[in-house]
Amino acid sequence: MRAISKVAPGWWDYTTLDREILDDAARLTAEDMLGLSRDGFEVKLYDTIEEFYLAEALEYVSAWREATADEPAGVCGPIGPTEQLPLVARLVNELELNLANCWFWGMDEWVIDGREVPTDHPLSFAKADMELCFNRIRDDLRMPASQIRFPAADPAEYVASWEKARCVVMQGGQGEVKHWAFNDPPRREDPWADEPPPPEEYRKLSTRVVELHPMTLIQNARTSGGGVVQNVPDQAVTVGPRQTWQAEKVSIWQAGTHDNPFGMRLTTLMIGKRIPDSAVPMSLLADHPNVQFNFLRSGIGVCEAEMH
């Protein structure tokens, strides 16, 4: 039987992995991480914060430039990081890029009492996307509202919209529980009480309402709510692995603010070495054909004891 989690005994998470994997990850240098690139998995480092977020914004522009009337194309984008979003709007306006044939899918949204939160909720992801990006794009360039899709507690329309356009790239960040979007590790209960679900089972999941791992609640309280954890919803609706595998490319952006030095090393190792494990959901991308990890070099840090 696998180890019990050190942080949430009723759940699966990366602390249940074999100690050898954890120790191997902690030893990686930035250059070691670059060396884990392989066919289907590329690791990129950026030396400045400006270059990092500009490169992330340019992924939107490059993807939308592929869209045509006969073959619409789009991006699935995150809330976290968000620093790229105003840059996306500025680039679209300056380049006069007409988005008539372009699509955007939001990755996730909070759920309270069985419903997705309204856009006037202070933590609403749809609100953030609109205010930081789409409302800043000129009216004559902006894509039709029907082509901007956010997941809902009843995800049927959102899921169906993935058949209407190519998803050229799915962007994301990495949370402390090693998720993309809110694809968190599951609870440790039957039928997966002794071992986490096999990767092939987890990958069957579509967009759905999920219960959030305790680590995710703490992280979101820290990054978005000043630590006021009681105001963070414990459920969300999230884009699923099924849609993720419809994306032609998955691009993960890590500036060192959402996960820690160890976590960024761990998933790089597991994807580079092809060690998928559903206790570490991000590691399941080891089986995706086109994944890119993007790091701000100064955010990679070190895995050494340091007293403060």
What value does the mean pLDDT take over residues 116-132? 95
Structure confidence by residue, pLDDT tens digits, 80-104: 889 999 999 999 999 999 999 999 9
Structure confidence by residue, pLDDT tens digits, 180-227: 999 999 999 999 999 999 999 999 999 999 999 999 988 888 877 787
Looking at residue 231, its pLDDT comes to: 81
Single-letter code of the amino acid located at 150: F
Looking at residue 304, its pLDDT comes to: 83
Considering only CA atoms, which of 43, 113, 118, 128 is closest in space to residue 83? 128
Inside any domain, residue 5: no
For residue 257, the enclosing domain spans: 14-300
d(CA 60, CA 87): 10
Inside any domain, residue 307: no
d(CA 165, CA 295): 29
What value does the mean pLDDT take over residues 2-25? 97
Q: Where residue 173 sits, what CATH number does that domain have? A: 3.40.50.1360
Inside any domain, residue 8: no
Inside any domain, residue 236: yes
Neighbours of 204 (CB within 10 A): 10
CB 50 within 8 A of CB 38: no
Inside any domain, residue 51: yes
Looking at residue 79, its pLDDT comes to: 85
Residue 202 backbone phi and psi in degrees, to 5: -60, -40
Is the pLDDT at 307 greater than 90, yes or no?
no
Inside any domain, residue 264: yes
- Residues 238, 240, 279, 297, CA torsion sign: negative
User: Coil, strand, or helix at residue 225?
Assistant: coil
Is the pLDDT at 156 greater than 80, yes or no?
yes
Domain count for the chain: 1
d(CA 206, CA 125): 19
Model pTM score: 0.95
Inside any domain, residue 2: no
Residue 294's DSSP bridge partners are 44, 253
User: Coil, strand, or helix at residue 238?
Assistant: strand
Q: How far apart are the first and last CA of the chain?
A: 37
Inside any domain, residue 4: no
Q: Which two tokens stand for residue 302?
A: 């070190």
Confidence at 138, pLDDT banded by 50, 70, 90: very high
